[in-house]
Copies of this chain bind each other. A is one copy, B any other.
Amino acid sequence: MRIEAVDLFYLAMPAITTEADGSQDALLVRVAAGGHVAWGECEASPLVSIAAFVCPMSHGVCRPVGASVLGETLDGPADIARIAARVEYDSMDLLQAPHMFSGVEMALWDLLGKARGEPVWRLLGYDASHKKVPYASMLFGDTPVDTLRHARDARANGFGAAKFGWGPIGRGDARADAEHFVAAREGLGPDAVLLVDVGQIWGEDVEAAAARLPALEAAQATWLEEPFHSSALESYQALSRRSTKVRMAGGEGAHNFSMARHLIDYGGVGFIQIDTGRIGGIGPAKRVADYAVARGVTFVNHTFTSHLALSASLQPFAGLQDHRICEFPFAPKSLSLDITRNHLQRDANGEIAAPDAPGLGIDVDPQGLREYLVDVDIRVGGKLLYATPASL
């Protein structure tokens, strides 16, 4: 097959707020080849990623992502790897390239799966798609009472695991944070899995993070996620060594395999969290999953957007029976739900799995998206480089 067309669609909620909620906009990627149409999604700034696809070449290794994709042959997984390697080399000086290419790569797997009538996880070499325990991913409340209510909501909705993130944590003192941890545990009850995500709030400051460890231990948190900048490996390592019960989690900022590997090898994380919409797609995420297995680290998806992104993010570890926890967007914006006709429904045990249907197994709903579509046009030197495609 020949990659005939790659179309990009910028979708957004009518109003975007400053909350740390990545489901407020999306960049969908539609790829056409061999009579098939497939979809992917970038977890990245839509406008900047569009620019990275269409920008004029700056020099030999600062070329637009589109130049490495359009017209290429796609007949098997090796072609996806070849195209990815070409993007990595020819766009090495284009920083946004991995975020942009992630959505394309995802669509290439979807397309290949559809063409072969196979789910992507099988193309990756797995024999089965094992059930995962989804955790409700939500933000901390503004007050401990709000956090308590959020935790009870998660429990009432049948989640046996919940992750609380961002919000007030790290903005006041350790005691104020501890009240939120206590409230979260109280709302979830004693048996549920409690996960805490602080969104890089402490930069490189190990002491600030360490001051929260006793309260996290007391609340029996399974992990502390992103205490530091994603590249502050020394801080990760220092905190990992000081924490006996709570393990560190991180990796959503990884935009290539090596960054995830370094969080494992040098940062000492116990959980490596990969967003297939950022790391370059499903291929590099699978490579991280293999590496995590070899190093005794648990692979977890990072997903805060649509069920298209959710399916893509489950594929890299679908076949790993012991890597049980998965992120599940608990209360995304309507845009994020409306992107797809079908959704990954939790079964009677509250569990989900990567679909058995061909490709990513998710139907994108063009009709449902019209109202969110953002008109963009980019002109350079009098030439129209990008305009929102007329047909969705």
| Interface residue? A259 (CB, 8 A) | yes
A88 CA to B230 CA, complexed, in Å:
11
What is the minimal beta-carbon distance from A210 to any residue of chain B, in angstroms? 19
| Interface residue? A37 (CB, 8 A) | no
A377 CA to B93 CA, complexed, in Å:
23
Partner of A58 from the list B24, B233, B380, B382 (CB cut-off 8 Å) is B24
| Interface residue? A156 (CB, 8 A) | no
- Are B58 and A16 within 8 A (Cβ)? yes
Number of copies: 2
Partner of A95 from the list B93, B96, B232, B266 (CB cut-off 8 Å) is B96
Residues of B within 8 A of A58 (CB): 16, 22, 24-25, 44-46
Contact-size category for A: 35 or more
| Interface residue? A293 (CB, 8 A) | no
> CB within 8 Å of B: which of A42-56?
43-48, 50-52, 54-56
Residue of B nearest to A199 (CB): B61
- Are B88 and A95 within 8 A (Cβ)? no
| Interface residue? A21 (CB, 8 A) | yes
Residue of B nearest to A98 (CB): B95
- Are A379 and B376 within 8 A (Cβ)? yes
A85 CA to B200 CA, complexed, in Å:
12
A385 CA to B378 CA, complexed, in Å:
10
- Are B258 and A60 within 8 A (Cβ)? no
- Are B92 and A45 within 8 A (Cβ)? no
- Are A378 and B24 within 8 A (Cβ)? no
| Interface residue? A163 (CB, 8 A) | no
- Are B92 and A95 within 8 A (Cβ)? no
Residues of B within 8 A of A10 (CB): 380
Residues of B within 8 A of A24 (CB): 58-59
Given known pairs A45-B58, A51-B48, A96-B96, the reply for A374 and B381 (CB within 8 Å) is yes
Residues of B within 8 A of A16 (CB): 56-59
- Are B92 and A48 within 8 A (Cβ)? no
- Are B95 and A255 within 8 A (Cβ)? yes
| Interface residue? A94 (CB, 8 A) | yes
Residue interface mask A355-392, B partner, CB < 8 A = 1: 00000000000000000001111111110010000000
Known pairs A21-B60, A44-B93 / 12 extra A-B pairs, C-beta < 8 Å: A18-B57, A20-B61, A22-B93, A44-B62, A45-B96, A48-B94, A89-B203, A92-B253, A95-B99, A233-B258, A376-B378, A377-B378
Q: List 17 A-B pairs, Cβ < 8 Å.
A: A18-B59, A18-B60, A20-B59, A20-B60, A22-B62, A44-B58, A45-B55, A45-B58, A45-B93, A48-B52, A48-B55, A61-B199, A85-B203, A92-B253, A232-B258, A375-B379, A375-B380
